[in-house]
Chain A
């Protein structure tokens, strides 16, 4: 009789452990999803900012049409890539980031532009959006690493395997070198 109770006890304890692990995994997976949504919000915000920026800058930068075109093109490509996987998306966004960085370097040559209130406000928004993208990416990657560790480490990997928890992809932006970025010729 005692043996039966012991077995029942062990089963109950195991069940509780499995449930706790499962819930922990679900919580982490939701955190990862949530973090991904945050990146999405910030990337969309950047798509919205760029036409505004190009419009403001255009009047001042008569000789930089190529740079501006490159930014617009990179933005459109990134927006198209937004429905594909993390890897491909990260690449497109990385190119957009470097195109923007090049534009902001060029801006330094135009002091009148740097005195424009409208531009200054936009620049603050853009800087902050860039930061928000990298912070949301950072939080996403941290969450993904925590989640992946749980799905791969013993004993939680057993529960993860049974319930179909799959490791999530990291969002690594390989910031392309200026030379490596695609040259866009203006027709």
Chain B
């Protein structure tokens, strides 16, 4: 996977440099407008740029996780998710255990973020935990761990934070210009008003155009190739491509839309969360390859190696392969494994009930609710804000003391 890692580094560098250029341009014009000095503007822009880079590098993952409304969980909160992440960590040969986060959302999806393979996070929605069985969850987590292992995560969090800042800055800049423009443009009027006004207006328009273009650039940077590679790695780790294929199928047929996703965070997810409400995700989107195609490739795999994925890709797409040659060389003959016991249809319905119960327990607990079991067997969820000394059971009428 070294070629992929190197291409990621180059892309990151281009992204960061492009952003810098955009900011310097902004600084140049702002300095001209507000201070009559382009150097002051450039210096300010430079400071903002460096600060942004530092924030994106050291805090990027934290910001993205909080924007997504993700909450960190420990081992005991959801042993199954924790175990699966650890299984995939072992299978991929990743040295450090990533942090695990849960997003309270019924739409099944997941993403990975972080600075490096040593400091990374995996986030899954509660819907994902409810809908997928063990093999499927393993496939999705394998895909996320592959993003960490292939070093896609730094680029993703960097891109997300930078894009967010550009959008916000552009918004404020146009606002400031609009209002100061209304009041006659105090400073620009000194140095020959009319021309300054036009320049300012032009910048405003340029910035408004640039923000969506930056978004587009980000969409291109997080390329489809990366998703295919992560799928191939997931199959390699789990030795069971059917798990991911069937998980993608379940995610695709789910019609709920992820509440917390926006344009900046969309490219991070396993499946593009920004599809229209009520519509299946099988349509073409630019950040993610169509799900149906990903499923077809995974199902066409004859073995579990990266070379098998490449072969299946060529079969489905009828084009040249997707995997870098360096990665193809040292992959041997790897057989697929059988499904785990839980995937059997007979188990599925009881498993589903248990999964749903486990996940909702977890969400109550994460919301700091206390659970009280009444003598009649009813479970009472006590909100953390309740100050009353006792609570009446709505089922049998017994009064339960809160201790």
Answer yes or no: do A and B interact: yes
The interface of chain A, by Cβ under 8 A from chain B, is 31, 35, 38, 42, 121, 124-125, 127-128, 131-132, 135-136, 138-139, 142-143, 145-146, 149
The docked-state distance in angstroms from the alpha carbon of A6 to that of B184 is 75
Cβ contact within 8 Å between B83 and A135: no
Q: Which of B55-91 contact A (CB under 8 A)?
A: 79-80, 83-84, 86-88, 90-91
Cβ contact within 8 Å between B91 and A138: yes
Cβ contact within 8 Å between A125 and B93: no
- Chain B residues lying within 8 Å of A135, measured Cβ to Cβ, are 87-88, 90-91, 237
- Chain B residues lying within 8 Å of A146, measured Cβ to Cβ, are 330
- Chain B residues lying within 8 Å of A138, measured Cβ to Cβ, are 91, 239
Question: Nearest Cβ in chain A — how far from B51, in angstroms?
Answer: 37
- B332 close to A (CB within 8 Å): yes
Q: Which of B215-268 contact A (CB under 8 A)?
A: 237, 239
Cβ contact within 8 Å between B91 and A128: no
Which of chain B's residues has its CB closest to A149's CB? Answer: B330
Interface size class of B (residues with CB under 8 A): 10 to 19
Known: A121-B79, A135-B237, A149-B330. A31 touches B86 (CB 8 A): no
Cβ contact within 8 Å between A139 and B91: yes
The interface of chain B, by Cβ under 8 A from chain A, is 79-80, 83-84, 86-88, 90-93, 134, 237, 239, 330, 332, 340
Which of chain B's residues has its CB closest to A139's CB? Answer: B93
Cβ contact within 8 Å between A131 and B87: yes
* A interface SS class: helix
Which of chain A's residues has its CB closest to B91's CB? Answer: A135
The docked-state distance in angstroms from the alpha carbon of A168 to that of B182 is 77
Cβ contact within 8 Å between B332 and A145: yes
Cβ contact within 8 Å between B79 and A125: yes
23 A-B pairs with C-beta separation under 8 A: A38-B90, A124-B80, A124-B83, A125-B79, A125-B83, A127-B134, A127-B340, A128-B79, A128-B80, A128-B84, A128-B87, A131-B87, A135-B87, A135-B88, A135-B90, A135-B237, A138-B91, A139-B90, A139-B91, A139-B93, A143-B93, A145-B332, A149-B330
The docked-state distance in angstroms from the alpha carbon of A60 to that of B90 is 34
Partner of A31 from B83, B93, B134, B330 at Cβ < 8 Å = B93
Cβ contact within 8 Å between A128 and B93: no
Question: Nearest Cβ in chain A — how far from B142, in angstroms?
Answer: 10
- Chain B residues lying within 8 Å of A124, measured Cβ to Cβ, are 79-80, 83
The docked-state distance in angstroms from the alpha carbon of A142 to that of B79 is 28
Partner of B87 from A121, A125, A132, A143 at Cβ < 8 Å = A132
The docked-state distance in angstroms from the alpha carbon of A121 to that of B79 is 8
Cβ contact within 8 Å between B79 and A136: no
The docked-state distance in angstroms from the alpha carbon of A142 to that of B84 is 20
- Chain A residues lying within 8 Å of B79, measured Cβ to Cβ, are 121, 124-125, 128
- Chain B residues lying within 8 Å of A127, measured Cβ to Cβ, are 134, 340
Partner of B86 from A35, A128, A139 at Cβ < 8 Å = A128
The docked-state distance in angstroms from the alpha carbon of A24 to that of B86 is 27
Given A38-B90, A142-B332: 7 more A-B contacts, CB < 8 Å: A121-B79, A125-B83, A127-B340, A128-B83, A132-B87, A135-B90, A139-B91
The docked-state distance in angstroms from the alpha carbon of A125 to that of B87 is 12
The docked-state distance in angstroms from the alpha carbon of A121 to that of B82 is 13
Which of chain A's residues has its CB closest to B332's CB? Answer: A145
- Chain A residues lying within 8 Å of B83, measured Cβ to Cβ, are 124-125, 128, 131-132
- Chain A residues lying within 8 Å of B86, measured Cβ to Cβ, are 128, 132
Which of chain B's residues has its CB closest to A136's CB? Answer: B90
- Chain A residues lying within 8 Å of B91, measured Cβ to Cβ, are 135-136, 138-139
- Chain B residues lying within 8 Å of A131, measured Cβ to Cβ, are 83, 87
Which of chain B's residues has its CB closest to A138's CB? Answer: B91
Q: Among the interface residues B79, B91, B237, B332, which one has the most CB atoms of the partner chain A within 10 A?
A: B91
Known: A124-B83, A125-B79. A132 touches B90 (CB 8 A): yes
Question: Nearest Cβ in chain B — how far from A160, in angstroms?
Answer: 16
Question: Nearest Cβ in chain B — how far from A98, in angstroms?
Answer: 15
